[in-house]
Amino acid sequence: MADETTVEEIETLDLWVSGTEESEIWEDSSTDEGAQRMGWDESEAELREQLGTVIDDDYDLDGLNDDERMIVNMGPQHPSTHGVLRLQIELEGEVVRRTKPVIGYLHTGMEKTAEQLTFLQGPTNVTRMDYLSPLNNELCYSLAVEKLLSVEVPERAKTIRVLMTELNRISSHLVALATNGMDIGALSMMIYGIREREMILAFFEKTTGLRMNHNYIRPGGVAADLPPGWRQDVQEILDTLPPRLEQYDDLLENNPIWVGRTKGVGVITSEECIAYGITGPTLRSTGVEWDLRKAFPYSGIETYEFAVPVGGAGDVYDRYRIRVREIHESLGIVKQAMDRMPSGDYRLDDRKVTPPPRARIDQSMEALIHHFKIFTEGFKVPPGETYVAVESPRGELGCYIVSDGEAKPWRMHTRAPSFYNLQSLPIMMADSLVADTVATIASLDPVMGDVDR
């Protein structure tokens, strides 16, 4: 890191990453996100330092001409890194200069496993990726498979999917609030967030049979119809949550410690977010109104009324606030879905894709054969490739499936939102205090199962 650049050179260097000429590509008048430049002047070398690309384990401290710098390893076994994230942090006194996330400690080889499972078994695999929003993963995978099959699921299945994924968004954001609170020291938030989440998980367990990793949304519809009495359960959630959210506001909004530890901390700009492919609440906290439910609607979500909450400061407080407001919006979508829930089939009536109803197996030999064939060798999907993205609680969750005409995908790739969002950590944490590290990580809400897959 012996940087021989003189002061004059630093001034003339482009502030963007190597290779791009001075704002040539970013001089895009048609965007309305303001000037397409980063806000402050910094040399390319400094930016690369912030990207963390020049840190390695055997870092030469002597070359720095600075006795104050030291590398601190945080994780992979650390209570505030949300799993097994490891950070190499270069500290100068109490100030974080550079950060390098080291990931892969939860790499499960799911993309390889997906090539061994049939298209019907696929959701069992993808549901374990982002374990806080499993239904979104299943939805994304199922939509991709349905796109390759060129089938459209019935209205009731679509509405059930919207209902379940929005409930899942609420439960995921509740955990994000809970852990965010716990990491900063508001331990009560942890207890409250998990308490409300249990209510939604109870409904999930009643509907899908499991509290997590449901394998409920499958290609062709959903696995089972909503249970009897589901309206009372959902209504109870709708009635209970808004007053509880007000309690959260009482607890946090008027709390000077909470506000002091979140406002102006972990700031990122919209230009950086777009350049790094960062999506979800982090992007919206910078003021960009970008939600895939509005931009590329799926499952009939365009027929629901909801707003996309945006922030402006791009700090931890804004991201927390957006999550709270998104819970309110999701509650509205859940209510609309409950009110309009159409009758009809909850899955496709296509015996090549979905198993026949249980009662028909006793009566019809063909039904038995179809049932057997679907669960042993699966259904074949025409050759092709497709990419489908949904808005998960963390951002753009994409599924890229390549089929070669067999019953198993030739390649299944998941565009994990947490994986790309993690690239923003070095930017957010540059030149901030080490005490703000956990607040920043928690506000990003990374799920390591989603990062490492």
Partner 1 sequence: MTDDPSIPETEAPEPAVRPLPEPGLIRDLLEQFEMAEWHSSSGQDVVVLGADTLLEFAAAAKKGGFESLVDVTAVDWFRKRRVRFELVVNLLSMQHRLRLRLLVPIGADAATVPSLCSLWPGANYGEREVYDMFGIEFEGHPDLSRILMPDDWEGFPLRKDFAVGSVPVQFKAAHKVD
Partner 2 sequence: MARLSAPTNLLTSTIDKAARWAQTQSMWPATFGLACCAIEMMATGAAHNDLSRFGMEVFRASPRQADLMIVAGRVSQKMAPVLRQVYDQMPDPKWVISMGACASSGGMFNNYALVQGVDQVVPVDIYVPGCPPGPQSLMHGILTLQAKIMSGEIHART
**CB under 8 A: which stretch of 144-152, 197-205, 368-376, 393-401 binds partner 2?**
197-205
Nearest approach, Cβ of 88 to partner 2 (angstroms)? Answer: 15
Contacting partner 2 (CB under 8 A), which of 37, 48, 69, 78? 78
Strands 86-92 and 217-218: unpaired
- 227 binds partner 2 per the rule CB under 8 A: no
Q: Which residues of 238-256 are buried (b: 16+ CB within 10 A; e: fewer)?
A: eeebeebbeebeeebeebe
The amino acid at residue 327 is I
Q: Segment contacting partner 2 (CB under 8 A): 128-136, 228-236, 247-255, 266-274?
A: 128-136
β-strands 217-218, 221-222 pairing: antiparallel
Our finding on whether 276 is near partner 1 (CB under 8 A) is yes
Residue 31 interacts with partner 1 (CB under 8 A)? yes
98 near partner 2, judged by CB under 8 A: no
Q: Which does 277 bind (CB under 5 to 8 A by kind): partner 1, partner 2, none?
A: partner 1
Question: In the set 38, 91, 194, 313, which binds partner 2 (CB under 8 A)?
Answer: 194
**CA-wise closest residue to 189 among 205, 173, 177, 201:** 177
Q: Choose, by CB under 8 A, the member of 3, 9, 18, 259 that binds partner 1.
A: 18
Question: Contact, 372 vs 116, CB < 8 A?
Answer: no
138-168 in b/e burial notation, b at 16+ Cβ within 10 A?
A: bbbbbbbbbbbbebebbebbbbbbbbbbbbb
Alpha carbons 310 and 288: distance in angstroms, whole number? 7
Least Å from the CB of residue 124 to partner 2 = 7
> Do 216 and 138 meet the contact criterion of CB atoms below 8 Å apart?
yes
Question: Residue 274 interacts with partner 1 (CB under 8 A)?
Answer: yes
How many whole angstroms separate alpha carbon 281 and alpha carbon 315? 11
Q: Is 107 in the site for partner 1 (CB under 8 A)?
A: yes
Can you give the binding site for partner 1, defined by CB under 8 A? 17-20, 24-25, 28, 30-31, 48, 51, 53-54, 103-104, 107, 109, 111-113, 116, 147-148, 150, 274-278, 288, 290, 295-296, 384-387, 389, 396, 398, 400, 402, 404, 410-411, 413, 415, 419-420, 422-423, 452-453
